A and B are shown apart, each in its own frame.
Chain A
């Protein structure tokens, strides 16, 4: 299984600011995924990041709010822009190397917006 490192592990941010979350994988992977888990809720897919192309966003998520970079096959970033308290969530990076393979998660970033 892939080893996924996310940072920061947690942060408290002021509303109106932005936070960039980094995700590093110990092996090259085709697809990387970003999920959000709001308090007491399950995981919701934000976007899929494929190296060399723009990220694909799920309904309800837009690039201006959650810009994503995927500069190479082992790294991705998610930025939460112009934050509000409603953005307080755990953000999780996941990798999936291909069809019928399991998805593994980083340890997550717990974001609190005040």
Chain B
């Protein structure tokens, strides 16, 4: 059974601070890891992808992967009110053929 766990929140962070979102997954065979942002009433938007252990940075976003601990995180620096959304962690186990398993999402609120 593939499982992806996230704290549902809400996670409240002051504007300008660092928001830290965490995700754990159950299947050690997982190969690809994604963070999606979803605004209310909209479809998920890809924010970050990471495939190997370590950190991957893209602008204000940093994804961190630790396969030994089965843990992936997303850091958002200099948080903005526009970052307020639900962040979905998604995992792909077998490459492209398996589709994605999603966590329930963390609701992030950036307080002005």
Residues of A within 8 A of B (CB): 1, 30-31, 33, 35, 41-45, 48, 58, 90, 92, 94, 96-108, 110
Contacts and interface: CB of A to CB of B under 8 A. Distances in A.
Contacts of A103: 34, 46, 90, 92, 99-100
Given A31-B96, A107-B43, A100 B102 contact: no
A35 B44 CA distance: 11
Interface residues of B, number: 25
B101 A45 contact: yes
Listed residue (B90, B96, B105) with the most chain A CB atoms within 10 angstroms of its CB: B96
Nearest to B95: A99
A93 to B, nearest CB: 9
Contacts, number: 67
Given A45-B99, A101-B96, 20 more contacts: A1-B46, A31-B96, A41-B104, A42-B88, A42-B103, A42-B105, A43-B88, A43-B100, A43-B102, A44-B102, A45-B100, A48-B98, A98-B95, A100-B32, A100-B95, A100-B96, A102-B34, A103-B99, A108-B42, A108-B43
Interface string B26-49: 000001101000000111111001
B35 to A, nearest CB: 11
Contacts of B96: 30-31, 96-101
Nearest to B86: A42
19 contacts: A31-B99, A33-B100, A35-B99, A42-B105, A43-B44, A48-B97, A48-B98, A48-B99, A90-B43, A92-B43, A92-B44, A98-B95, A99-B32, A100-B96, A101-B96, A102-B34, A103-B100, A108-B42, A110-B41
